[in-house]
Amino acid sequence: MFKVTFKFESGEDVTTFAQEGENLLEVARKTNVAIDAPCGGNASCGKCKVKLVGGEIHSPKTRHISEAEYAEGWRLACVSKITGDVAVEVPDIASAYRSRMKVADLSSKAEIEIFEKAKNDIEAAGIALENSMDVITVKMDVPSLDDTMPDNERLLRTIKKMTGAPKVRMTYQVLRKLAPVFRKSNFEVQCVICRTGQDIFIYDVYAKDEKVVIGGLAVDIGTTTVSALLINMQTGEVIGKASAGNGQIRYGADVINRIIESMKPGGSDRLQKAVIEETINPMIEQMCRASGFKPEHIYRMCVAGNTTMNHLLTGMEGDPIRMEPYIPTFYKTNSLFASDIGLNVNRDAHIIVAPNIGSYVGGDITAGVLVSMLWNRPEFSLFIDLGTNGELVFGNSDFMMSCACSAGPAFEGGDISCGMRATDGAIEACTIDQETMEPSYHVIGDEGQKPVGLCGSGIIDVIAELFRTGIINPKGKFIREGKRIRHDKYGMGSYVLAFEEEAGTEKDVEINEVDIDNFIRAKGAIFSAVRTMLASLDFDVEMIDDVYVAGGIGSGINMENAVRIGMFPDIPREKFHYIGNSSLSGAYAMLYSGEAERKCYSLAANMTYLELSAVPTYMDEFVACCFIPHTDTSLFPSCVQE
C-alpha cells in the first residue's frame, strides 16, 4: 500500500492509501476528492489534470498535456497509476462552483421577468395558482377527568367536526408533537394540512401563536448545474434561491458516464449521495440560513431533471435507461417521500417528480414545456433545451412530439481545449474585426477579470465571427493568416483570443480546429434533430411560429450567431425567445399549483417521442449539418458570407 496525498488550493490535504497499479482518478473518487472529469475518466476530455508535487506516479503523456505542462508536473489523473507514495495538487472545482453560483438562476432582472411572465402565462391559460396545502386553526375542548379522550382522537374528531372531512390522518412526527404542543398552547393549535378530495392529511402541528409558513422547494437537477427555489406555498412568493454544481460531475459530465459509474459496486449510493448530500442539502441549508427558515418546515418538493438525473437522485438502476430497449424504472411516481432519500426537508414531505416521457426525454423537458405554453397555442412552436443533452419538442395545442440528441459537453465548455463553464474568467461574447482580425470580448466576472477560457455562448460567437470574417471555411479549417493564427507541426490551425500575457492563466486562450470540429458536431446534432423531427411530421422550418430556447447554457446566447453557424433554423430572429431555466420555472409551477402538476402529467402522457437513431435519414442529416452553416447553404439564405 502506498500513501496518496491530494493537496488543495485551500491548503487542505486529504490522505489515503492505495495499492500498486490503482488508477489515481478511482482513488480520488473513493476518497471523495472531487476531480473534474467530464468524460468519465476515459482520457478523452483532458480535464482531470493534477500536478505531481511529490513522490512518483506512472502517467503517460497524452495529447491533452503539452511538453511544457508535463515538465511542470501536470498529469491526467485518469491515465495515472500508483507506483509509490505520491502527492498531487488538485485544481479546486468546488471554488469554480462557488463562483458559478453568482450566476444562479433568477439573479438578474431579465431572468426574474422571464420567470414572472411564465407565472402569468400559466394563470392566463386558466390554471389556478393554488395548491392543496393550508394552515387551519383548531380549538379543542380542554380535557378533564370526565373527558379523557386521548390527544390524537381529540384532534382528529375536532377537525372532522370543523371540516366535515370523512378521513383525517396524521404522520408519526405529528403524533409525537401532540402532547407538548397541546399543553403549551392549551389545546388551541394550528395544523399544516393537505387536502386530497374530502380527506385531510396533517403534516404538522404548531402552538396557536407561532408564525407558520408552509415551505415548498422547487429543484431543477441539471447534469451540470442544480438550481433551487424555496417558496411560500400559500402565497407563491420566492423566499430563497440557490444554484450549485451537481456534485455527480466528478463521476462524468454526461448521463452515460454517470450511469456506468452507478452500476459499479456501491455506485448508485455514491451518485445519490453526491447529488443529495453534497449538492441539494447544502443548498437547502444555505437558503434556509439566509431566510431564517427551518428545513423541516418545507412540506413539499418538486424535482425536475432528465430521466437519468431523477433516476440517480432516487437511487434507481440506470443501466436499463442506456441499454436497448431503454426502459426507465418510472415515468411518474407517487411513492417518494423526503425520508426515503435523505433530503433535508420535513421527513414526510411528498416529492413530486416532473414526469419523464422516455429514457432520454425527462422531467426537465415536461416541466419546461409546461411553462413554454406550447400546448396552449394553435400555432406551431419549437422548444429547444440546450443542456449536455439537447432535447426538442415541437407541436401546438393539438399534438406534441419530442426527441433528444446527445450534444455532448461542448455547449458547457467540455471537449474544447480552453472550454470552461460559464463562470469567472469565461469569455461569454465576442466579436472579431474583419480587417485586423483582433477580437473584442466580454469576460464573466468583476471589472478587469482576465480571460481564462471560453464558455458555450462565447464559443458560438467566436466560431460565428471566425466564419463571418473568413478566417475559417465552412469545414472549420483556418484559411487566413495573421498574428493570432497559428499552425502546429501537424498543421492544425488555431486562433489565439488572448496571449498568455493578456490572459488570466499561464497559457494562451485559444480555439483550435479540433475544438471547432467538436462544436460543429454538437450544433449539428441540434440542427439535424430539428430537421429530422420536422421532416417526420412533413413540416418545414417556415411553419415554425416561435422557437423557445431554454437551458442554463442559453443565458448569454446570441441568436443571430447561433443561426449563422447553423445551430438554429434560419427564420426571422424575432421568433426566437430565450425562456431561461424553464425546467426550474416548471418545477415551481408544479409545486405551487396542483392544477399545473396535473396538467404536466397529462402533457407528458400525450407527448409522443421520436427515437432519432431509429430514423434512417438522421445520420445523413447529421453529417450534412457538420458544416458552417450546412452543406446545403440554401437552408440559410440570410447567412451570406461577407
**Which residues are registered as beta bridge partners of 232?**
215
The distance of closest approach from Cβ of residue 270 to a copy of itself in the complex, given in angstroms and rounded to an integer, is 15
Look-up of cell digits 460531475: 249
Q: Is the dihedral of CA 162, 163, 168, 172 positive or negative?
A: negative
- Is the distance from CB of 217 to CB of 229 less than 8 angstroms? yes
> Quick check: 403 and 377 in contact, CB under 8 A?
no
Which residues have CB under 8 Å from 149's CB, separation 6+? 143, 157
Whether residue 399 contacts residue 369, with contact meaning beta carbons closer than 8 Å, is answered with no
Q: Does 151 help bind a copy of itself (rule: CB under 8 A)?
A: yes
8 A C-beta contact, residue 329 and residue 279? no
Q: Of these, 235, 339, 440, 641, which contacts a copy of itself (CB under 8 A)?
A: 339
Is position 141 an interface residue for a copy of itself (rule: CB under 8 A)? no
Task: Round to whole Å and give the CA distance between 501 and 430.
Answer: 19
Number of CB atoms found within 10 A of residue 408's CB: 22
333, 396, 617, 633: residue in contact with a copy of itself (rule CB under 8 A): 333
Specify the stretch interacting with a copy of itself by CB under 8 A; choose among 115-123, 173-181, 384-392, 508-516: 173-181
| Given 68, 128, 290, 327, the residue binding a copy of itself (CB under 8 A) | 327
- HSE-CB at 559 with a 13 A cutoff on CA atoms is 16
Q: Identify which of residues 272 and 582 has a Cβ nearer to a copy of itself in the complex.
A: 272
197: contact with a copy of itself by CB under 8 A: no
Binding residue for a copy of itself (CB under 8 A) from 30, 139, 183, 487? Answer: 183
Q: How many CB atoms lie within 10 A of CB 443?
A: 24
| 216 touching a copy of itself, by CB under 8 A | no
Closest alpha carbon to 190 in 179, 203, 205, 176: 205
Q: Which stretch binds a copy of itself (CB under 8 A): 71-79, 124-132, 170-178, 561-569?
A: 170-178
Return d(Cα 186, Cα 180) in angstroms, integer: 10
Q: Say whether residue 614 binds a copy of itself (CB under 8 A).
A: yes
**Helix, strand, coil distribution of the chain in percent, nearest 5:** 35, 25, 40
The rounded Cα 316 to chain-centroid distance in angstroms is: 19
Secondary structure of residue 443 in the 3-state scheme: strand
Per CB under 8 A, 362 contacts a copy of itself: no
Q: How far is the CB of 115 from a copy of itself (least distance, A)?
A: 31
Cα 16 from Cα 509, distance rounded (Å): 35
Nearest residue (CB) to a copy of itself, 147 versus 398: 147
Contact 581, 550 (CB under 8 A): yes
- Binding residue for a copy of itself (CB under 8 A) from 93, 316, 530, 590? 316
Of these, 158, 227, 257, 356, which contacts a copy of itself (CB under 8 A)?
A: 356
| C-beta of residue 338 within 8 angstroms of C-beta of residue 254 | no
Q: Name which of 183 and 487 has its Cβ closer to a copy of itself.
A: 183
Using CB under 8 A as the binding rule, whether residue 301 contacts a copy of itself is answered as no
331 counts as binding a copy of itself under rule CB under 8 A = yes
CA angle 73, 79, 80 (to 5 degrees): 55
Q: Minimal distance in Å, beta carbon 323 to a copy of itself? A: 10
Distances (CA, A) of 30 to 26, 472, 531: 6, 44, 44
Taking CB under 8 A as the criterion, the residue among 38, 216, 295, 358 binding a copy of itself is 358
Nearest distance in Å: CB 388, a copy of itself: 22
* Cα–Cα distance, 583 to 219 (Å, whole number): 9
CA atoms of 303 and 305, how far apart (whole Å): 7
Tell me: does residue 175 bind a copy of itself (CB under 8 A): yes
Stretch that binds a copy of itself, among 50-58, 148-156, 231-239, 562-570 (CB under 8 A): 148-156
How far apart, in whole angstroms, are the C-alpha atoms of residue 52 and residue 591?
Answer: 48
Q: Does the protein bind a copy of itself through residue 136 (CB under 8 A)?
A: no
For the bound state, the minimum distance from the C-beta of residue 9 to a copy of itself, rounded and expressed in Å, comes to 38
Minimal distance, residue 194 CB to a copy of itself, in Å: 15
359 vs 585 by CB, closer to a copy of itself: 359
Out of 94, 149, 535, 537, the residue judged to bind a copy of itself by CB under 8 A? 149
Contact with a copy of itself (CB under 8 A): which of 130, 188, 317, 508? 317
| Grid cell in block for residue 468 | 463571418
Site map (CB under 8 A) of a copy of itself, residues 389-418, x = contact: ------------------------------
Count of residues engaged in binding a copy of itself, rule: CB under 8 A:
50
Closest approach of Cβ 265 to a copy of itself, in Å? 13
Pick between residue 351 and residue 454 the one whose CB is nearest to a copy of itself: 351
- Which residues contribute to the site for a copy of itself (CB under 8 A)? 143-145, 147-153, 169-176, 178-180, 183, 314-317, 319-320, 324-337, 339-341, 356, 358-359, 611, 614
